[in-house]
Chain A
Amino acid sequence: KAGVTQTPRYLIKTRGQQVTLSCSPISGHRSVSWYQQTPGQGLQFLFEYFSETQRNKGNFPGRFSGRQFSNSRSEMNVSTLELGDSALYLCASSIDGTGVSGANVLTFGAGSRLTVL
């Protein structure tokens, strides 16, 4: 059974550029959530998608956006990159529609490490 796949694994951008990250969840998982992880702040929730709808959103500026496709694959986009956006971006999938507050295991991908110069 394939796990959660994130692409690309590493990327370098410069300030002002934009970036799109991709996440393919485990087959059958309908919920995909995104997180930013930095050494100082730890894991921070960005947003969660279920059945192509953004169901929950964290406290990040509008430069961070996402979407989910009918096959549950998800993308997140960061526009007008800032140095502080350098981080490991993780996505996670879970099986059903009760949401991440239920006792559903989140399965994480390996992450996309973004460096902004």
Chain B
Amino acid sequence: KNQVEQSPQSLIILEGKNCTLQCNYTVSPFSNLRWYKQDTGRGPVSLTIMTFSENTKSNGRYTATLDADTKQSSLHITASQLSDSASYICVVSAKGSGYALNFGKGTSLLVTP
């Protein structure tokens, strides 16, 4: 069964600190992995998309890594800001016919002053 597990479920950090969110998946055959940021009361916004051949992708202070061998991804946030407070959702796509998006339940991040 295709599954996406995210950890931690929630995280509180001080403004200016770095943090790393984890995503482990069992989706096969793998197509791509996406990280989304969802602010409270808003829809998710895409941060990165990585395919099998990519192991690092950055978007400003956000850096995603992918290890397709161990089926793990991480999202590293550098020099956190209050506006980083949000839910971060990992989404893994499988190849093949039909709908193939598998969603993690998200990590809720709170950045405090």
Contact = CB atoms under 8 A, between A and B. Distances in A.
Interface of A: 4, 33, 41-45, 48, 55-58, 90, 92, 99-103, 105-111
Given A100-B93, A105-B46, A105-B49, A43 B99 contact: no
B105 A42 contact: yes
Interface in B40-77: 41-46, 49, 51
Nearest to B93: A101
How many chain B residues sit at the interface, stated as a range, is: 20 to 34
A96 B6 CA distance: 29
A115 B104 CA distance: 24
A103 B89 contact: no
B17 interface: no
Closest 7 CB pairs of A and B: A108-B43, A56-B99, A42-B105, A101-B100, A43-B103, A103-B32, A105-B46
